Amino acid sequence: MSAIPGSAQQVLSVTQLTSIVRKTIEAEPSLEGVSVRGEISNFTRHANGNLYFSLKDKDAQIRAVMFSRSAFGLNFKPAEGDEVVAAGSVSVYEKRGEYQLYVRSMTPAGRGALFLEYLKLKKKLADEGLFDLSRKRTLPMFPRRIAVVTSPTGAAVRDIINVIKRRFPALELTVCPTLVQGDQAPPHIRTALKRAAALPGVDLIIVARGGGSFEDLWCFNDELLARDVAACPIPVISGVGHEIDETIIDFVSDLRAPTPSAAAEIAVPDIYELRLRLRVVGDNLSRRLIETVRYTRSALKNIELTLSPKRFLERLDRRKQTLDEYASVMRRSVSYKLETLKKQIEHERERLASIDPRRVLARGYAMVSDAKTGAIVKSTSQAPHGALLRVSVSDGDFTVRSEAPATQRQKSLSFDD
Amino acid sequence: MAKKEKQNSFEENLEKLQEIVDRVDSGELGLEQMIASYEEGLSLIKTCKSILDGAELKINKLVEDSEKTEPFDVQD
């Protein structure tokens, strides 16, 4: 098929030539079932569902097409700039004389793939309960020795030291150097973490790294590292990247700090606050003591007053006054009683007067009694001849002697008849 | 080791101090107990302050493949 210039030879049509090229390419085994990694550019999605784009890297690019029936099976949405691995075969699109990759399947690579992986691991560990709040350990209030797992040359370690120096310099800080980026970083960090936890007297570990891209921080999404952190016997604070960065270690650590500086802030108390607190406590104690002294003094004064002669006399006077009051009450009640009795006697006297026999004498009757014995004479037998009798009339008495023999009156028969 | 004990006592002192404050705040102390608590509290505060005053951040770095530490210089 080689054509020697100038020699009589077959002249091909464009179609024929293109067909030869296509057949040659399709016959090449290394171009069949090929996988290629590159970045998507000039991406268009045709109305019929076909995807047209180029795959490129730093130095080259290739046209690619993914027909709708294949594109339907994609588990992500390809977009301009995505790093992907496309699998398919190379052939020629004769109409335009272009060779291109016919993509049958495609997966994200680079960041997209990493992100999917990250989400998968996050879900897996979350399902295992590694992120549960109940697993979080309490951080020491006054750490004695803090181990900082980080790069010894980065800004992170400098920030942490500065913050701790300012806030609470009463401790020992041990830097546990490690790589914090790249494929080698995860095992490196794990080793450093283990050594940190084994330090004598260490009671807090900070794992830190300054900000970086998602890929830069990727080593902190390592599953084994995550498990090590979860199982670490010493409480761990993570301070990886900036506020917006989120890595798996943030979820398994006992506390997630948004930055390395913030991790240091959280790790230690503030010495100024402590001093202030000490001063407040001291002031309170003094105040309480003064209060107690004052109270005790006034209590003493009360006792003293109670026992003083003046108070004693006052109390005596009060008792006397009470007694006087009792006395006057009694006096009043006795005189009342006397008055009542007097009235009663007067009443009785009047009653007795009404039945006085002398009042009968006033009506002309006389009362006769034995002059010697005083006995009232009610019968003739009491007045024998010669008996000396006293006769009482209304205004006095006189004595008489009985002369005529006593005659008995007939029993009052005449009256009865 | 001395450092460690010192650190220990700071936290312990603070705890003891809190206990004293609670006791004093309860209002159940007599004068003598109050004076004793006051003196104890004051001495604890003094100890705490002196620990804070004397505090100096000790910074070191783990030596590779060793349990040892070496001084660590912060690069500014």
Residue A381's SS3 state is: helix
Partner-chain contact A144 B8, CB within 8 Å: yes
- How confident is the model at residue A2, as a pLDDT? 53
B65 in any annotated domain: yes
Mean pLDDT value across residues A202-206: 96
Of residues A146, A355, A406, the one with CA closest to residue A265: A146
Partner-chain contact B31 A296, CB within 8 Å: yes
Q: Identify from A285, A286, A296, A303 which residue to disrupt to test chain B contact, counting B C-beta atoms within 10 A and taking the largest count.
A: A285
- How confident is the model at residue A374, as a pLDDT? 86
Chain A residues within 8 A of B64 when measuring between CB atoms = 177
Number of domains in chain B: 1
Alpha-carbon span A242 to A261, nearest angstrom: 10
- How confident is the model at residue A5, as a pLDDT? 57
Domain A14-108 class, CATH top level: mainly beta
Q: Measured between CB atoms, does B65 come within 8 Å of chain A?
A: no
Q: Measured between CB atoms, does B5 come within 8 Å of chain A?
A: no
Per-residue confidence at A17, pLDDT binned at 50, 70, 90? very high
Q: Identify from A204, A281, A294 which residue to disrupt to test chain B contact, counting B C-beta atoms within 10 A and taking the largest count.
A: A281
Q: Which domain holds residue B36?
A: 2-71
The pLDDT tens digits of the residues spanning B2-41 come to: 344 444 468 888 888 889 888 888 878 888 888 888 899 9
Chain A residues within 8 A of B42 when measuring between CB atoms = 282, 285
Q: Measured between CB atoms, does B50 come within 8 Å of chain A?
A: no
Question: Nearest CA of chain A to the CA of B28: how many Å?
Answer: 10
Mean pLDDT value across residues A210-218: 89
B46 in any annotated domain: yes
Mean pLDDT value across residues A3-14: 72
CA dihedral A204, A210, A214, A220 (to 10 degrees): -20
Question: Nearest CA of chain B to the CA of A189: how many Å?
Answer: 13
Residues linked to residue A86 through DSSP beta bridges, in sequence order: A36, A106
Q: Please give the ipTM for the structure prediction.
A: 0.79
- How confident is the model at residue B7, as a pLDDT? 44
CB A402 within 8 Å of CB A386: yes
Q: Measured between CB atoms, does B60 come within 8 Å of chain A?
A: yes
Residues A126-141, buried b or exposed e (16+ Cβ, 10 A)? eeeebbeeeeeeebbe
Residue A90 has pLDDT above 50, yes or no: yes
Q: Are strands A51-56 and A61-66 parallel, antiparallel or unpaired?
A: antiparallel
Partner-chain contact B24 A288, CB within 8 Å: yes
- How confident is the model at residue A248, as a pLDDT? 95
The pLDDT tens digits of the residues spanning A54-64 come to: 999 989 999 99
CATH 3.40.50.261 fits A115-131+143-269, yes or no: yes
User: Distance between terminal CA atoms of chain B?
Assistant: 31
Q: Measured between CB atoms, does A154 come within 8 Å of chain B?
A: no
Greatest CA separation for chain A: 229
- How confident is the model at residue A103, as a pLDDT? 95
Chain A residues within 8 A of B11 when measuring between CB atoms = 141-142
Question: Nearest CA of chain A to the CA of B45: how many Å?
Answer: 6
CB B60 within 8 Å of CB B70: yes
Sheet containing A236-240: order of strands = A255-256, A236-240, A204-209, A145-150, A172-177, B58-62, B69-71
Q: What are phi and psi for residue B66, nearest 5 degrees?
A: -155, 160
The pLDDT tens digits of the residues spanning A229-272 come to: 999 999 999 999 988 888 999 999 999 999 999 999 999 999 89
Residue A211 has pLDDT above 80, yes or no: yes
Average pLDDT value for chain A? 89
The first and second tokens of residue B64, run together, are: 């590779």
The pLDDT tens digits of the residues spanning A338-397 come to: 999 999 999 988 888 777 777 778 888 888 898 888 888 888 888 888 889 999 888 888
Alpha-carbon span A397 to A390, nearest angstrom: 7
Residues linked to residue A400 through DSSP beta bridges, in sequence order: A389
Sheet containing A367-370: order of strands = A367-370, A388-393, A396-401
- How confident is the model at residue A239, as a pLDDT? 95
The pLDDT tens digits of the residues spanning A267-293 come to: 999 989 989 989 998 998 888 888 888
B76 in any annotated domain: no
Alpha-carbon span A72 to A53, nearest angstrom: 16
- How confident is the model at residue B2, as a pLDDT? 39
Residue A176 has pLDDT above 90, yes or no: yes
Residue A133 has pLDDT above 80, yes or no: yes
The pLDDT tens digits of the residues spanning A19-35 come to: 999 999 999 988 888 99
Per-residue confidence at A296, pLDDT binned at 50, 70, 90? confident
User: Which CA distances in Å does A152 have to A148, A179, A202, A262, B27?
Assistant: 9, 9, 18, 18, 54
CB atoms within 10 A of CB A347: 10
Mean pLDDT value across residues A314-321: 88
The DSSP secondary-structure symbol of A153 reads T
The radius of gyration of chain B from alpha carbons, rounded to an integer in Å, stands at 19
Altogether, the residues listed in chain B come to a count of: 76
Q: Domain spans of chain A?
A: 14-108, 115-131+143-269, 275-315, 359-403
Residue A414 has pLDDT above 70, yes or no: no
- How confident is the model at residue A108, as a pLDDT? 87
> Counting one residue from A and one from B, how many pairs have CB atoms under 8 Å apart?
107
Per-residue confidence at A7, pLDDT binned at 50, 70, 90? low
Long-range pairs, B5-9, Cβ under 8 A, ≥24: B6/B51, B7/A142, B7/A144, B7/A170, B7/A171, B7/B51, B8/A144, B9/B47, B9/B51
CB A145 within 8 Å of CB A168: no
Residue A53 has pLDDT above 80, yes or no: yes
Partner-chain contact B55 A169, CB within 8 Å: yes
CB atoms within 10 A of CB A117: 14
Residue A93's SS3 state is: strand
Q: Identify from B31, B65, B67, B69 which residue to disrupt to test chain A contact, counting A C-beta atoms within 10 A and taking the largest count.
A: B31
The pLDDT tens digits of the residues spanning A91-104 come to: 999 999 999 999 99
Partner-chain contact A174 B29, CB within 8 Å: no
Per-residue confidence at A309, pLDDT binned at 50, 70, 90? confident
Instruction: Please give the residue that has the higher pLDDT: either A396 or A209.
Output: A209
Residues B19-47, buried b or exposed e (16+ Cβ, 10 A)? ebbebbeeeebeeeebeebbebbbebbeb
**Window from A48-52, A224-228, B11-15 with minimum mean pLDDT:** B11-15
User: Which CA distances in Å does A160 have to A266, A268, A416?
Assistant: 11, 11, 150
**Window from A57-61, A123-127, A402-406 with minimum mean pLDDT:** A402-406
